Amino acid sequence: MTNLRTEAINLDAAKRRAVDYLELTKPRILPMVLVVTAAGFYLASGAGLDMILLIHTLIGSALATGGALALNQASEEDLDARMIRTQKRPLPDGRLLKFDALLFGSAVMLLGVAYLAVLVNPFTALLIAATGGLYLFLYTPLKRTTSLNSVVGAVPGAMPPVIGWAAATGALSIEAFVVFCIMFLWQIPHALAIAVMYREDFARADIKLLPVEDPGGASTGRQVISYCLALIPAGMAPALIGMAGPLYFTISIILGFAYLGYGVHMAREKSPVSARRLFYYSLTYLPALLLAMIFG
């Protein structure tokens, strides 16, 4: 009986540790990354969708992205410890050691890159490795020094559909660049809304974000409106270059002006409530636009 109880305790501890390692990969963010990667793959494939290649792409992307996110958490352990919303993550809470996270993240990321190189194509592996490098070695340290990190971070954040495109075709095109631009422009209001929602937490950790440095909110509001405005013609571009049809064109305008409306509201109100509304709409805008691009 004692042995059975000991085995049960050990199994429970192993499960909790596995969950902690999984949490390092930010499983709430990863599905969105994979959905957008799949959308880029589908758009590039046209009628010749290779399901096996898509599955390999998603597996490799999940590994490489999850590893990069784990390494990001390892590098920001001290920042996470200062913020209320992140204090219970495995590293600041002491459930995992930083060395363990670094080893896990490096192994998983390298496995993902190797997986893509062998089972998808080397170009896709190179793109995701470069994306991870930009995320870890430029964006992540910039969060401690300049609010421009949001713009820099939007570059790797806009890469998933490009990676999906490269996986399907082995190359890039003007269409992939257009989708990249949409993703890039979409991210800035999305990220600034999060920064406004958690301004006090970010300030507590001394993370350099525009809403932290601009407590009055005027500059933040201008940035949100500017990027929302730029997103409207960018969102129309797929129809203009033949990627999508007139239905998509109409939907992109409606979605774009709605995004702008939420952005203007946040710029006027300058409140966490209005920022939350913008944030939630941003989560609607992107999948709706991609679905319209695919089917419209």
pLDDT digits (tens, 9 = 90+) for 125-138: 999 999 999 999 99
Considering the domain architecture, whether residues 215 and 82 belong to the same structural domain is answered as: no
| pLDDT > 90? residue 13 | no
Residue type, 52: I
Do 45 and 95 lie in one domain? The reply is yes
Gap between the Cα atoms of 221 and 99, Å rounded: 40
Q: Are residues 49 and 178 in the same domain?
A: no
- Residue 148's pLDDT is 94
What is the Cα–Cα distance from 109 to 67, expressed in whole angstroms?
Answer: 4
Nearest to 128 by CA among 119, 142, 116, 120: 116
Question: Do residues 65 and 181 share a domain?
Answer: no
- Phi and psi (nearest 5°) for 124? -65, -40
Per-residue pLDDT at 10 exceeds 70? no
Assess whether 17 and 114 both reside in one domain.
yes
Cβ-proximal residues to 36 (8 Å cutoff; 6+ apart), any chain: 160, 161, 164, 183, 286, 290
Same domain (yes/no): 145, 202: no
Which domain-ending residue is among 144, 172, 200? 172
CATH number of the structural domain spanning residue 20:
1.10.357.140
> Where in the sequence is the domain holding 61, given as residue range(s)?
1-172
| pLDDT score recorded for residue 7 | 54
Note whether 185 and 255 are same-domain residues: yes
Give yes or no: residues 168 and 196 share one domain.
no
- What digits encode the pLDDT tens for the residues 182-222? 999 999 999 999 999 999 999 999 999 999 999 899 999 99
- Do 186 and 121 belong together in one domain? no
Of the pLDDT bands very low, low, confident and very high (cuts 50, 70, 90), residue 61 is very high
Tokens standing for residue 99: 């060395």
257-280 core/surface letters (b: 16 or more CB in 10 A; e: else): eebbebbbbbbebbebebbebbbe
Look at residue 46 in the predicted model and tell me its pLDDT: 81
Same domain, residue pair 150 and 199: no
Same domain, 143 and 189: no
What's the chain's length in residues? 296
Query: Exposure pattern of 99-111 as b/e (b: 16+ CB <10 Å)?
Result: ebbeebbeebbee
**Which of 152, 172, 192 is where one domain is finished?**
172
Q: How far apart are the first and last CA of the chain?
A: 63
Q: Residue 176 corresponds to which tokens in the numbers above?
A: 């992939």
Query: Are 217 and 267 in contact, with CB atoms under 8 Å apart?
Result: yes
112 and 178 in a common domain: no
Number of domains present in the structure of the chain: 2
10 Å Cβ neighbour count for 240?
11
What does the pLDDT look like over 257-288, one tens digit per residue? 999 999 999 999 999 999 999 999 999 999 99
Last residue of a domain, one of 140, 172, 204: 172
